[in-house]
Amino acid sequence: SFFCLLVTITMALCLSPSATLAATDTHSTAGATVTIGADEADQQRISVNNVTLIINNNATLRTVGEESTVKSNNNRSGTTITIESGSSITASGSGDDKAIRANSNTNLTITNSGTISADDIDVIKITSSTNPTITNNAGGIITGATDAIEAASTTNATITNSGTIYNTSSQNAIRMTSATGATVTNNVGGEIYTSGGVGSVIYLGSSSTLTNSGAIRNDASTSNNSIRLEGNDNTVVLKGGGIVVGTIQANSGTTGNKLQFNHGFGRTYFYETSGDFDLEDLSGNTVVKGSAGSVSLGGQETVDELLGLRTYNLRSALKRYASAPKPTDKDTVWGEMFGYSSKRGGTDTLLKYETHGYGMNFIHPATSKLDFVLSVEKNELDLPENHDVSRTGFLAGF
């Protein structure tokens, strides 16, 4: 009717371009490959199995005010979504606007070499799914206000990052609440971080493995969690060249969680931890609410050499005390100040370092055959790649 036409024209004139409601493109041919090579504002809905969606040719797939820009319907299998370099999937607007959404899917695959983003909520949300795989290649960016990737209640999820994954609010860069059997790998050059609020960078479920060779950072505060383990039997592998900024926490009451160190030659690392872990390295110690350290090949040589320097200093002090005139007053304390500096160049088998320190040795005759010894030392150890250590040490004994 004329009235309906008038209302339609009025709405079209009043709505801004950014508020225009998107249409929906439904892909209902099993096994089809759909390529989007130009900018598109329609929601992409996958309603059958084994559909491949490719975004290429620097195209931007962007929706405003939709529940999701790309949605793989419930109970789908074999959906593949590929975003090539220079292309992007974006969700804008307030509300439940996600870039990619899937629930109860099997064998979902997302490969990103471009940009996936959402302004208001989770960027990629995959729930109650089995064997989902997300690969963020070098140069790829996944970013959003809340969770960059949410894979809650999934089974055997695989997330591999060589690019950048981050969020800007109090949620997580990667959140895997109630997920089991996940494998998360952050490769060399990969960055995963959060820049706002108190959320953990990576929140892992149970019976899962996280391997880091890149950077995992809580840029909001170093006292916040970098990695948080929700359940039991998780393994966190920290490899050479990897950086973790923030506390590694295992939730209270959890068991079977492990930290494994594999740092390679010439690297010594220290991490702040909270909760109970099994620490697997050369020493085999257990970490409980404290700090975990790893000394690698080359680094161990340096530790041995510095320990030898410390021991030599104390033995020399004892020799000087033995040859000095004995105190006649029982309240007399023999003492000396000391200082030292040591420098060594690196080789294929030795770690380069510089160290200097100072302190005091005190010896008091407790009995005719027993002396009390106290040594106080302040030490600075400079290692490659800004891995410097400041230490204040106390040694006491008879």
**pLDDT of the residue at 322:** 83
**pLDDT band at 93, cuts 50/70/90?**
confident
| Mean pLDDT of the region 292-314 | 59
Residue closest to 192 by CA, chosen among 222, 216, 214: 216
> So what's the pLDDT on residue 354?
84
Q: Is the pLDDT of residue 221 over 70?
A: yes
Report whether pLDDT(3) > 50: no
Mean per-residue pLDDT for 231-251? 90
pLDDT over threshold 50, residue 101: yes
Residue 125 — pLDDT band, cuts 50, 70, 90? very high
> Is pLDDT above 70 for 287?
no
Please write down the HEC assignment for all residues of 189-222: CCEEEECCCCCCCEEECECCEEEECCEEEECCCC
Q: Specify the DSSP class assigned to residue 380.
A: E
For residues 209 and 184, the answer to whether their CB atoms sit within 8 Å is yes
How many other CB atoms sit within 10 Å of the CB of residue 390?
8
Cβ atoms 243, 215 nearer than 8 A: yes
Least confident span in 47-51, 67-71, 91-95, 134-138 = 91-95
pLDDT of 300 over the 70 cut: no
Q: What is the pLDDT of residue 241?
A: 77
In this prediction, residue 307 carries a pLDDT of 66
Q: Is the dihedral of CA 219, 222, 227, 229 positive or negative?
A: negative
Residue 148, classed as helix, strand or coil, is coil
Please state which architecture CATH assigns to domain 299-397: Single Sheet (2.20)
- Per the CB < 8 A criterion, the answer to whether 47 and 27 are in contact is yes
Is the predicted pLDDT of residue 284 greater than 50, yes or no? no
The per-residue pLDDT for range 304-332, each reduced to its tens digit, is: 556 667 777 788 888 888 888 876 677 78
Percentage of the chain lying above the pLDDT 90 cut: 49
**pLDDT at residue 144 is higher than 50:** yes
Predicted pLDDT of residue 371: 85
The pLDDT of residue 117 is 96
Query: pLDDT (tens digit, 9 = 90+) per residue, 352-385?
Result: 778 888 999 998 888 878 888 998 989 887 776 6
Q: For the chain, report the end-to-end CA distance as a whole number of angstroms.
A: 103
Q: What is the spatial order of strands in the sheet that 60-64 belongs to?
A: 60-64, 88-92, 115-118, 141-144, 164-167, 191-194, 215-218, 243-245
Rg (CA), the chain: 29
H/E element, 159: strand 158-161
4-11: long-range contacts, CB 8 A cutoff, minimum separation 24: none
**What is the average pLDDT across 34-50?**
95
